[in-house]
Chains A and B, each alone.
Chain A
């Protein structure tokens, strides 16, 4: 979903951070993307490469760390791994499983110069 806007958000985070930490070039960007965040990783790479053209992150490598989806089952009360939002509980088959982990969309770390 809307990877272009997200890529633009990544660039804004980087540009703001560059002012605080005083760097002029970004070589590598680590993103943490949750399995349940609804982000298409390949689309994100494509959009990132085009959004950063002509900026301080032009040509930067994008590393995406995917975090596992996790949810709380209202049926059995357990925390269970889920790959898709609103999948039934793998233990009891119940609904709903409220997502509790794997929702991240975060700029984690940068390699800069």
Chain B
């Protein structure tokens, strides 16, 4: 366990380096060794806690979310099983978007930096997080990766989570949306088998649809299962090979980026108005005084 901030991912490595401190971005806290430092009283008492187990992760996530909001960054958390074609889809997405948008990628895998290398080959910056034994990214790791990336304002951040349809559902990273990627070489009943992930996702990309002629995959049934779990889920059929659905996916991203940028501008405008109001009020007070 990391002694300075208590993060449990002792084997987490960001871009090949062990997780180092000091931290400058999200947290300013310390974990002292409580056992040794306090005298023992040996009288027991009850303490009401009533705190969410994921409270710590959620704090980091909301710090990430505020950072993204302040800078107009549209962050997506891409989740899927291993082998769903996430990285290939990402590289194709980047190729289609990179002339119009600034993009950065966080790659999560247990081991190796192969995926980050594939992303960098497209010309955008990428940071690899190796989770070691961990089966998902958490908001704390993402906060550190964001420090490394130095994201541009109004940019797109694509976070490719560890290939796993279970754990990443519970860990908010501060993203705007989760995007679940399901390939047609998997079963159409996956949304029912791993409901949490499809319930948490805004969009389902049904990927590798160029292979449909060779498979017995029932597309309408798969969509029906996904909507049984999440009636609002948007479904886009995609193929990184044929390019099918890539325009619709790209447009959905572009709309999200516009919205993030507009929200930032609106907030800046609102703050400017507030400053002007306060300055006027101050002037009045001084004038009266």
Q: Which residues of A come within 8 Å of B, CB atoms?
A: 1-2, 4-6, 8-19, 21-25, 27, 31, 38, 51, 55-56, 74, 85-86, 95-96, 105-113
Question: Which of B42, B52, B138, B229 sits near A86, CB closer than 8 Å?
Answer: B229
Residue numbers in A under 8 Å from B47 (CB-CB):
17, 21, 23, 109-112
Tell me whether B56 and A108 are in contact (CB under 8 A): no
Known: A9-B56, A10-B53, A108-B50. A113 touches B170 (CB 8 A): no
Counting residue pairs across A and B whose Cβ atoms lie within 8 Å, the total is: 127
Check B286 for interface membership: any CB of A closer than 8 A.
Answer: no
Tell me whether A15 and B199 are in contact (CB under 8 A): no
State A51–B41 Cα separation when bound (angstroms).
24
Residue numbers in A under 8 Å from B167 (CB-CB):
1-2, 5
Sample (16) of A-B pairs whose CB atoms are under 8 Å apart: A1-B196, A13-B53, A21-B47, A25-B35, A31-B53, A38-B166, A74-B231, A85-B195, A85-B199, A95-B228, A96-B227, A96-B228, A108-B48, A111-B44, A112-B44, A112-B45
Tell me whether B138 and A15 are in contact (CB under 8 A): no
Check B39 for interface membership: any CB of A closer than 8 A.
Answer: yes
Closest to A105 in B: B53
Residue numbers in A under 8 Å from B231 (CB-CB):
74, 96
Known: A15-B31, A111-B46. A5 touches B134 (CB 8 A): yes
Which of B40, B48, B230 has the most chain A CB within a 10 Å cutoff?
A: B48
Residue numbers in A under 8 Å from B49 (CB-CB):
13-14, 17, 106-110
Residue numbers in A under 8 Å from B52 (CB-CB):
13, 105-107
Known: A9-B57, A56-B34, A56-B35. A113 touches B42 (CB 8 A): yes
Which of B6, B37, B53, B227 has the most chain A CB within a 10 Å cutoff?
A: B53
Q: Which residues of B come within 8 Å of A, CB atoms?
A: 1, 6, 8, 31-32, 34-35, 37-57, 134-136, 138, 166-167, 170-171, 192, 195-196, 199, 227-231
Residue numbers in A under 8 Å from B6 (CB-CB):
12, 15
Closest to A24 in B: B38
Residue numbers in A under 8 Å from B51 (CB-CB):
13, 17, 106-107
Residue numbers in B under 8 Å from A23 (CB-CB):
38, 41, 45, 47
Tell me whether A111 and B35 are in contact (CB under 8 A): no
Residue numbers in A under 8 Å from B136 (CB-CB):
2, 5
Residue numbers in B under 8 Å from A19 (CB-CB):
32, 34
Residue numbers in B under 8 Å from A95 (CB-CB):
228
Residue numbers in A under 8 Å from B8 (CB-CB):
4-5, 8-9, 11-12, 51
State A18–B36 Cα separation when bound (angstroms).
13
